[in-house]
Structure 1
């Protein structure tokens, strides 16, 4: 027999406390994917079909598809029929990025149950943003089922500058934003969608500083390359490697936890990293590895690199760590390059530009400017921290 969970998710309260009864008779849609499950691993779309029956009209799916089967960067998913409940699935990552009027005309309320990973460039929050925009335009209510931020309430910059807005950042956020998906919806409403009818069904038992293991919940991968919560922890930094010709570990069984390239020379790099990082100060160890990706960058080629082993989750700073890794490799290996796009629907700017989204740090990476890195990653976030206080639940 499974024990009661330490943290009860918004969607579980919705059914257990019979909150759903006040929505009976309404036509509903659900933005979710395969990680949207309850404590017994029942998909939320099955729970919706059971309670709302014929009034459950549509499922909206984010990047990677309803079952997270698609890979990243403009690998589109198609509209389909969900095989268990036979509910139409409308893809919001393909020929459209937001619901169309004809979809919203079918429903009164759109519910959202998505597991975010706490990073600005993870596209689920921007699918939510566009959904909120469409629902405000069409007079539809949005109800968010809150879930944990798996990497906690810690914040790391840099803050995104408007000139770098894209589908991996449509509003000003730091790379590690420190909010749950319900809190970020609150922030979007406050900034952009003041007339939207928004409700957030909060969690019970959740504390803002929890890292995912402290919730007592099992991890269900929210996208194909976030197989573990530790992957989510390194992701806000290691995702920056997508803007380089370094492999971020896609095509291996440890995406984002390993990185490398055929042109790296391990002996000297190992020595350099030992001078820059220490387990006691930085909370991680880099172990030298050799790997061959089965797809994506350097497919089938032997890559020399490192694997992250996190020894102190609270000390580990993923963004600062990744920036120092990229800077060190750029300064020591002529074969290192920032790659060209297109990347997440951006045709003109380089991927690294929209991923970092901050001109000062980009100049620092290019060796054109000396900066206090900590200032742009931590110290200048006071206004953001003050702004989000009023959006928090926990």
Structure 2
């Protein structure tokens, strides 16, 4: 204990000398760097490897913010972690330091993360900081030139879950495009991908492009936000093939084989590790008449419908309005399905639940809706399921496209 106290004291003294030598730093910035260097700002994986997210590496990016007007794309996951499982919001921290934040841009679910999936996020004023909030979900998905006017730098710091239809990467695309057009650089504070251990699913076909699928990638892409931003630039996916000036603050001590537990739920209906792990497989149900747990306390950990055969699906539940699901599918109706909350961790997309539900529904003609093709990114998957093709055969068909994607993806990886 005495050695640790001595070591920290020496470290503080050395850092103080270094920071004092830099006349460019303002006093408040120096204090935050020192504080965050000495406290435990790390998270632990299942292998006890300490991971330091981009936002925690204040010494790397605070000098980039000095004397600049800043815009921040953020939500409830945009935090700086501290000791004893506490954290402060990035916006609140920078605001306290008197960094010149001019506005906050809010993606789906809003700045503080309380809006339902698909619910329009409105412009407004943050009650804590009085900063203007610009919605990037609703009619305005891309910041306008007027909304970016006067900004010198835009920070993007949002926890993603690594799937094509999770709309934070679509917001990333539009922010990059808008910044490139206005010649405004972007700073990405990277975070781990909890589903980064595998790649799976059909590649999106261009004709099925939408906000839940903007790029020719598989459903599970295995990249962090920082890596994905590099791919957007490198593959020239921005309109007019413009290039966004990027700086990525990588996660320290991260590799994609590690299990990473999210300390803050990334959206209202992904409450825990199990839901995040099952989400890539169960989200397909959003394009059917089957409920995927919205309106329960096991969101994306179960599925069911009044139309599924109760002799095959013995598990019963009734969705009701709750936080994150004001109007859940089959609200107040008894559903038959499966509870997957105790399933072992998946390392692949599971199609068997979707196929089993289709094969045991009362009216197959009403099973799929128009949203399914947008989610899957291809009409072929629905056709294959309707034709009785097995999950194994379907996934075999994907392999050549997935191999080509792996080769492209390799150019943009930051982590191994």
Normalised-by-shorter TM-score class: 0.7 to 0.9
Of 338, 360, 364 in structure 1, the residue corresponding to residue 384 of structure 2 is 364
Aligned residues: 356
Of 180, 201, 219 in structure 1, the residue corresponding to residue 249 of structure 2 is 201
1:103 aligned onto 2:147 = yes
- Tell me, yes or no, if the aligned pair for 1:165 and 1:171 is still in contact at 8 Å: yes
Of 64, 76, 81 in structure 1, the residue corresponding to residue 125 of structure 2 is 81
Of 355, 368, 382 in structure 2, the residue corresponding to residue 327 of structure 1 is 355
Of 76, 88, 92 in structure 2, the residue corresponding to residue 46 of structure 1 is 92
Shift of 1:163: 1.1
RMSD: 2.0
Question: Which piece of structure 1 moves more, 378-387 or 245-254?
Answer: 378-387
SS of equivalent to 2:396: helix
Shift of 1:375: 2.0
Of 27, 34, 46 in structure 1, the residue corresponding to residue 69 of structure 2 is 27
1:292 aligned onto 2:290 = no
What are the Cα deviations for residues 337-375 of structure 1, in whole angstroms up to 9, with x where unaligned? 2454xxxxxxxxx10011111233221022176782122
Question: Which piece of structure 1 moves more, 191-200 or 366-375?
Answer: 366-375
Distance in 2 between the 1:303 and 1:43 partners?
39
Shift of 1:178: 0.4
Unaligned runs of 5+ in 1: 271-287, 341-349
SS of equivalent to 2:154: strand
- Tell me, yes or no, if the aligned pair for 1:63 and 1:92 is still in contact at 8 Å: yes
1:307 corresponds to which residue? 339
Rg (Cα) greater in structure: 2
Counterparts of residues 187-266 of structure 1 (less than 5 Å): 187-192=231-236, 193=238, 195-213=243-261, 219-266=263-310
Counterparts of residues 126-141 of structure 1 (less than 5 Å): 126-141=170-185
Change (3 A) 1:205 1:224: same
Change (3 A) 1:46 1:376: farther
Shift of 1:258: 1.0
What are the Cα deviations for residues 224-282 of structure 1, in whole angstroms up to 9, with x where unaligned? 11111221111111111011111111111111101101222333346xxxxxxxxxxxx
Distance in 2 between the 1:7 and 1:316 partners?
21
What are the Cα deviations for residues 131-162 of structure 1, in whole angstroms up to 9, with x where unaligned? 11111111110111000101123101111111
Change (3 A) 1:2 1:201: closer
Of 216, 223, 226 in structure 2, the residue corresponding to residue 182 of structure 1 is 226
What are the Cα deviations for residues 89-119 of structure 1, in whole angstroms up to 9, with x where unaligned? 1000123011011111120110000011111
Q: Structure 1 segments of 4 or more deviating over 6 A? A: 368-371
| TM-score, with length taken from structure 2 | 0.81
Distance in 2 between the 1:390 and 1:3 partners?
30
What are the Cα deviations for residues 273-300 of structure 1, in whole angstroms up to 9, with x where unaligned? xxxxxxxxxxxxxxx3433333311101
Shift of 1:311: 4.8
Query: Which structure exhibits the higher relative contact order, with contacts defined as CA atoms closer than 8 Å and separated by 6 or more residues?
Result: 1
Distance in 2 between the 1:332 and 1:259 partners?
13
| TM-score, with length taken from structure 1 | 0.85
2:402 corresponds to which residue? 381
1:63 corresponds to which residue? 108
Distance in 1 between the 2:227 and 2:214 partners?
16
Change (3 A) 1:267 1:190: same
Distance in 1 between the 2:112 and 2:247 partners?
26
1:285 corresponds to which residue? none
